[in-house]
Structure 1
Amino acid sequence: MIAYLKGKLAYKDPTFVIIDIMGIGYQVKISLQTYSQIKDEEQVMLLTYLHIKEDGHTLYGFKEESEKKLFLNLISISGVGPNTALMILSSLNADELEYAIIHEEVKTIQNVKGVGIKTAQRIILELKDKIKREALGDSMILPSTFVKTNNKIKEEALQALMTLGFPKAAAEKNITAVLKKSGPEISLEELIKASLKNP
């Protein structure tokens, strides 16, 4: 099993990348979520999953462990293949998908291209308890208002902090801490300023 790939980003597209590792190019399918996180990088490390079928081997790549975990959960469900799982993760980021599953928002998942009502219901039925259990053990669990209302503002603030030189993990930690104190009504500018000050 190939656990991850680390090398030069030789080619990038919103749906796949080619990673050059010592002169060998590995083509890896990715979600829009991962693409937005790596599009400006020259060197990249992606967590990977190798899907083996009779007619070929396909690599799927993820920037974050949380996205890979959701991908593996999705493909464990009957009727959800790797490409459908990737489509879901391109339409909804990890936070949004977990929120939709926990709160049984069938329509949110059904709105993803290629996902019918039966599949959306099956995803919720089979993953709801599992995600709840994982969330309880996750110290970074986010309030639902943050997931629903602040998702866009969070992404924009994160990009701004990373542009200013913050490591991604530190920037996310600061943004989460600020939002917990301020609530969902904070403006983007205030969030960025407060996150710069947050230890």
Structure 2
Amino acid sequence: MIAFVRGKFARKSPSQVIVDVNGVGYELQISLHTYSFISNKEEGQLVTYLHITENGQTLFGFFEQTEKELFLQLISVSGVGASTARMMLSGLNPDEIMKAIVQGNTKQLEGVKGIGKKTAERLVLELRDKLAKVQTELSVSTGANHFRSVEQDVVQALVGLGIARPMAESAVKKVSLSAKESLSLEEFIKQALKNL
């Protein structure tokens, strides 16, 4: 099984990326959510899931592990295939999907192309309890704020320097909102320290 791929983004589109890993190009199907994180990056790492059917094999790529885990939950529901799950992650971000399912908001789910009333109801019925537990764990581990992985690393670094978590998260948010370009981890930490 391929757990992740790391390399240069040879070609990107909102639905697909080709990652050059030491001269081998891996074609990954991605969501708009993942594309929004990698659109301005030249290289990086994507967590993957290999979907095997009788008609072929498709490699899906995700910017975050949480997005992959939600994708796996979605495709476990009868009537939701890999393409539909990817469409859901393109129409709504993972937090919105989890919130809609946990709160039983079938109307919001039906707003996604390919999701009808019955499928939306089935998603709520089968995943509500599982996702409520996941949401609780996420809010506890990130103080109710869902940071991207770089932001999480910066928060951890600041906390390691003795700064209180709420102050660290606030500083990271300020930098994220004001940054015009993606910052290196080092630069991000420096900027966050200035915002304390």
Q: Unmatched 5+ residue regions in structure 2?
A: 159-164, 180-191
Aligned to 1:163: none
Counterpart-to-counterpart distance in 2, 1:94 and 1:172: 21
Counterpart-to-counterpart distance in 1, 2:15 and 2:81: 16
Deviation per residue, 1:79-106 (Å, 9 max, x gap)? 0000000000000001111111111110
Counterpart-to-counterpart distance in 1, 2:98 and 2:155: 18
Q: Root-mean-square deviation (CA), in Å?
A: 3.1
Whether 2:71 is the aligned partner of 1:71: answer yes
Counterpart-to-counterpart distance in 1, 2:113 and 2:102: 21
Segment of structure 1 superposing worse, 72-81 or 35-44: 35-44
Counterpart-to-counterpart distance in 2, 1:141 and 1:92: 22
TM-score of the aligned structures, taking structure 2 as reference length: 0.76
Aligned to 1:42: 42
How far 1:198 moved relative to its partner?
5.3
Counterpart-to-counterpart distance in 2, 1:2 and 1:128: 29
Aligned to 2:182: none
How many residues align structurally?
Answer: 173
Aligned to 2:16: 16
2:31 and 2:86 in contact (8 A); partners too? yes
Which stretches of structure 1, 4 residues or longer, exceed 4 Å deviation after superposition? Answer: 170-174, 195-199
Aligned to 2:120: 120
Counterpart-to-counterpart distance in 1, 2:194 and 2:128: 37
Counterpart-to-counterpart distance in 2, 1:98 and 1:172: 24
Distance 1:96 1:171, change over 3 A: farther
1:135 and 1:141 in contact (8 A); partners too? no
How far 1:43 moved relative to its partner?
1.3
Q: What fraction of aligned residue pairs are identical, expressed as a percent?
A: 46
Distance 1:120 1:171, change over 3 A: farther
Distance 1:133 1:18, change over 3 A: same
Counterpart-to-counterpart distance in 1, 2:43 and 2:27: 15
Counterpart-to-counterpart distance in 2, 1:141 and 1:50: 32
Q: Unmatched 5+ residue regions in structure 1?
A: 148-153, 159-166, 182-187
Deviation per residue, 1:91-149 (Å, 9 max, x gap)? 0001111111111110000010011000011111111100111222232263xxx89xx
Residue 84 of structure 1 aligns to a residue whose secondary structure is helix
Q: Map residues 1-199 of structure 1 onto 2, 5 A cutoff.
A: 1-138=1-138, 139-140=141-142, 142=144, 167-170=150-153, 177=166, 192=178
Counterpart-to-counterpart distance in 2, 1:79 and 1:171: 40
TM-score of the aligned structures, taking structure 1 as reference length: 0.75
2:98 and 2:135 in contact (8 A); partners too? no
Residue 137 of structure 1 aligns to a residue whose secondary structure is helix
1:32 and 1:89 in contact (8 A); partners too? yes
Counterpart-to-counterpart distance in 1, 2:59 and 2:10: 16
